[in-house]
Each structure stands twice: as structure tokens, then as C-alpha cells.
Chain A
Amino acid sequence: MSKTIRIGAGAAYSGDRVEPAVELARDGKLDYLVFECLAERTIALAQQVRRKDPTRGYDPLLEKRMHAVLELCARNKVRIITNMGAANPESAAEKTRDIARAHGLHGLKIAAITGDDVLGQVQGSQIPTLDTNEPIRAYDNRMVSANAYLGAQPIVEALAAGADVIIAGRIADPALFLAPLVHEFGWSMDDWTRLGRGTAVGHLLECGGQVTGGYFAEPGPKDVPGLARLGFPMAEVREDGNAIITKVPGSGGKVSAATCKEQLLYEVHDPKKYFQPDVVADFSKIRVTELAPDRVLIEDADGTPRTDTLKVTVGYLDGFIGEGEISYAGANALARGQLARDIVRERLHLTGAKFDEIRFDLIGVDSLHGEHISAQAPEPREVRLRVAARTTSLADAQAIGEEVETLWVNGPAGGGGARKYAREVLAVHSVLLPRAQVATNVKILES
């Protein structure tokens, strides 16, 4: 039988559950365990942490995860690949080395991948943002971070150098999974079909529990057993890039054609053109076949040549958001909620509150799907007013929630559960940077 590589997904975001990763490391018979922990703006938040403390700025759960899986992975010969380095892969690697030593693991090779931080290249640049088309330098004085989505190459280099644990910052999520396949099977970096197939595997795994029945379950039409013990996914990948998606036997959740189809299209625009640093993947001809319970065969993804640019996410400060909420229930709850809304609207005008944009929601009525789609729904028993506004100062943001809170005493009857929030907004723009402006580096430490 030809070689099969087994890759597990140990996390789908920074705050994800840790036990399913331990389960995979212990019982998954894995070759690789991948932790994908960076959402669009996570790295910008991490950069702010690093500015305050140069030894931090990596994933807040890095230590917890490494304590939980390092020994198991070393014993079971499972190599770890992660973007938990966030804004500081080198410090994350040093911390991981220390944790390895504390567990009595010596000679473990830990690689830090850098080069995704392109703040220097982006600041002052004329490159247009993808959504607003204005030159990105318009954001220079508010810019917090700029990170390029790297491809598989630096991870492949680290694997070739014998790294047991590889810690990166921003790397395209599917590339974290594609890299070990390129390394193990010796795929050429212009074998677009195989790179497309490896990308499909990565895309299916990168959101963890979203392919094993999480973000899927609906009592009745889409029942999923054991969601509280949801198992994270793993793939058995063949040399041709076709793969079986599965999970640890006995874990909660399920892998079916339906769970795989939903995840396959998740966050994809044109299925023929899923732009990645290493390939433009084509999911349009994919075949999805249930072989057995919790075993789904994924075949015939494809790809076309990569582009000459890398996507860069630019984090910038974008003012503040202030929010206030209060609830009404029972007879005439909707009318009382509407009255509360009208009072706040008039009060903000009377008091000269300053904001750039404001939004009034009645939670339980139309806050999620808007007035048009919600119009036919019956009157709810409970209604929660929510007021949210964008402001230029923290004090102005706080004033929004404070005004809502005064309804407790001064508003309609039976208002309860008032809450107020104010926060600084860290928003992101995207730009495309020529590849030549991005240089990566691999540094290896030993425990």
C-alpha cells in the first residue's frame, strides 16, 4: 500500500478547546498536528501586546496547548505546525523550548518562521486597499500591523531541517496543512493540481470542528451526536492529494458528505478561484463520497498557477464603539422596547451626544436578519434593545451605554438587565504586495 500522511487539526481559532487536540495527539495515529489560531485581526491585537511587552505578542493559549500536547507528540512522533507565533514567533519558540525542557524533552527542534511582518514595506506605500481603493498610506498614522499571508515554503524548509515544532505568524491557513504534504510527498511547487488538492485538505481542516459537525448541527434536519465532546478532524492524504476526512473513533460529532460540503464552500467566493499564496485552487470539480460513517473521500480538487502578489492584512485603529442594552418581557414587551428605543434616540439628540454612525436593534425581533426578512415573524415575548454607535473618543462611546442604562429608572416599565460596553476598534484593510518585497526566515532552537 502506498504512503498515507495523517494530519490533524488541533484548533480553529485562538480560543478553541484544548482537549480535542490532546485526543488527536494521543489517539489519532497522526504524523502532523496543526494548530490554526489566527483570525483576520488577531495579529493586530497581538502586535499591540508585543509593543507593551517585547517578550509577548504570541497566542495567549500557546503555553496551555504546548503543556498539553508536547510530551504526547514527542512520544508518538507527531510534528507540530502552528501560527500561534502571531506577532512574535521567536518569543513563542523560546517559550516552547522552555516548556519542552520543563517536561524533560531534550533535543526537540523548534523552528520560528518570520518575515510575514511587512509593516515597513506597507507604511508610506501607494498600494490601493482592496475594498476602498485609496492608497494605504492614508492610514499610516493609525496603522498597527501589516502581515503578509506567507505560503508553505518556509514551513517546508523547517521540516527539511528536521524541526519537530514549527511556529509561524501569518501563514495562509491551508498552507499550514499543505506544507507537510509538499515535504512528505516531494510535490513540486508548480504541480498546481496537487497543490490545489493539498489546499482543499487544508481548507477542510483549518476550521477544526466545523467539518466534524460543529457550526452545522440543527436538531431535526441535521442532528449531530456528542457535540459537547466534539472531535476535531484529521485527514488521511494520499500521494495524489486525494484524501479521507475523518476523526478519532469514539469522539463526538460526525463527518458526513454534508458536513464536508458546507466546510468546502466556507468563505470561498468563486470556487474555481480560491486564491492562495502557493496556488489558485479550484474546488469546482471536487467529488465528495461517504465511504463509511465518519469517513468521507475528497477527490479531484485542482489548481492553476499562483499570482505574483501576496495578500497583506493591515490593522489600523478606527475609533471607538459604544453599546448599551436593556430587556423587556411579557405583555406589550415589543411596544415597551420600541418606546425605549425612541427615548434613547431623542435623549442622544437632546444631550448632544457625538457619534459618526448609530444603530438601533431590537434583539428577538430584527437584530440579525433586518426588517424585511423579519417582518412576518410573530410578536416575541422578550425584547432586548441594543444601541451601538461609532465615536471618535472613548468618552463619547461610554456615553452611549450610559444613556441606555438610565432607562432602568427613567424608561418604560419593567426594563431589566441593562449592560454597557465601550471599546477601541481595531479594523483591517487588505492590500496586495509583490512577492519580491517579502523575505522569510527560519530560525531553529533546540530544547
Chain B
Amino acid sequence: MKLHHLAHARAGDKGDISCISVIAYKPEDYPTLQRELTAEKVKAHFQGIVQGDVERYELPNIHALNFVLHGALGGGVTRSLAMDAHGKSLSYAMLDMEIEP
């Protein structure tokens, strides 16, 4: 199923880094996110967009994962040639991931 069914997300930017949070709607789905959304899988999903490493941080208190995608914004928000230079829309790229429920 699509991650979109279990979670919501928000993307932010700093230089050439995109930070994307993934938050479970229901606490009981948080372990599924932990299991399915490894940094490796996220990096593979974002191939062609992310040039560098992907880091993952866990926030069990709020049932959220926070991903830091290095080299994801076309060299940086202020000089990128991309239409969405901030990568604001990348939260919904994340929610397009296929996961095992």
C-alpha cells in the first residue's frame, strides 16, 4: 500500500538539504513506519533527486520519523534551476512510497 494511507508528511529546506518528516496518523502504525522506511529504501525511492546520503531520526513520542536528504535541492534553494527550488512538494513524493502494511 501507499505510505499516504498511514502517514502525513512535511518537507522543509536548508541549503541543498531537504528534511522530510513522516508522521503516523495512528500510534499503532508507527512500528510499520520504523520497519518499512529505512534510510536505504528512502534513498532508493528518491533516486535521481537525492545526490548524497539519507539520514533517519526517530521520534517515538510523536510517532514520527525525520529524514534528512543531502544534495536533494539542485545545488541549493537559492541557485537551483528547479521549478520547486525549495522541494516543498517532496513530502508527497515520500508519501508515494509503497510499503508492506
Contact = CB atoms under 8 A, between A and B. Distances in A.
Interface of A: 40-41, 130-131, 215-216, 218, 221-222, 257-258, 261-272, 283-288, 318, 321, 357-359, 361, 363, 367-373, 386, 388-390, 425-428, 430
B81 A426 contact: no
Contacts of B1: none
14 contacts: A131-B16, A258-B23, A262-B10, A266-B12, A267-B12, A269-B57, A271-B66, A288-B61, A318-B78, A318-B79, A372-B48, A386-B83, A388-B82, A430-B15
Contacts of A40: 77-78
A133 to B, nearest CB: 13
Interface in B63-90: 64, 66, 68, 74, 76-79, 81-84, 88-90
Contacts, number: 133
A268 B92 CA distance: 18
A41 B23 CA distance: 30
Given A271-B59, A369-B96, A373-B93, A258 B21 contact: no
Given A262-B21, A270-B57, A428-B78, 8 more contacts: A131-B76, A283-B59, A284-B57, A284-B59, A368-B89, A369-B93, A372-B47, A427-B79
Interface string B36-66: 0000000001111100000101010110101
B59 A221 contact: no
A388 B77 CA distance: 15
Contact of B62 (A288, A357, A367, A372): A288
A210 to B, nearest CB: 8
Given A369-B89, A389-B81, A427-B79, A268 B49 contact: no
Contacts of A287: 61-62
B33 interface: no
Q: Identify the 10 closest CB pairs spanning chains A and B, nearest first.
A: A267-B12, A265-B21, A427-B79, A427-B78, A262-B10, A359-B81, A388-B81, A369-B93, A370-B48, A368-B89
**Binding site of A, secondary structure by majority: helix, strand, loop or mixed?**
mixed
A269 B19 contact: yes
A388 B83 CA distance: 9
B17 interface: yes
A359 B85 CA distance: 13
Given A131-B16, A215-B10, A372-B47, A261 B64 contact: yes
A268 B48 contact: no
B68 A269 contact: yes
Nearest to A264: B62
B76 A427 contact: yes
Contacts of B55: 269-270
Contact of B19 (A41, A267, A373): A267
Contacts of A258: 8, 23, 25
B68 to A, nearest CB: 5
Contacts of B17: 269
Interface string B1-37: 0001000111011111101010101000000000000
Contacts of A222: 8
B19 A268 contact: yes
A269 B76 contact: no
Nearest to B5: A221
Nearest to A322: B81
Nearest to A318: B79
A210 B64 CA distance: 18
A425 B79 contact: yes
Contacts of B93: 368-370, 373
Contacts of B57: 269-272, 284
A267 B48 CA distance: 22
Output the residue of B12, B17, B76, B88 with the most chain A CB within 10 A: B12
A367 B83 contact: yes
A266 B21 contact: yes
A268 B57 CA distance: 10
Contacts of A430: 15
A358 to B, nearest CB: 8
Given A267-B13, A271-B57, A221 B47 contact: no
Contacts of A264: 62
B4 to A, nearest CB: 8
Contacts of B10: 215-216, 262-263, 265-266
Contacts of A266: 10, 12, 19, 21
A236 B74 CA distance: 40
Contacts of B81: 321, 357-359, 388-390
Contacts of A321: 81
Nearest to B17: A269
A219 B48 CA distance: 29
A317 B48 CA distance: 28
B84 to A, nearest CB: 5
Contacts of A427: 76, 78-79
Nearest to A384: B83
Contacts of B83: 361, 363, 367-368, 386, 388
Nearest to B92: A369
Contacts of A390: 79, 81
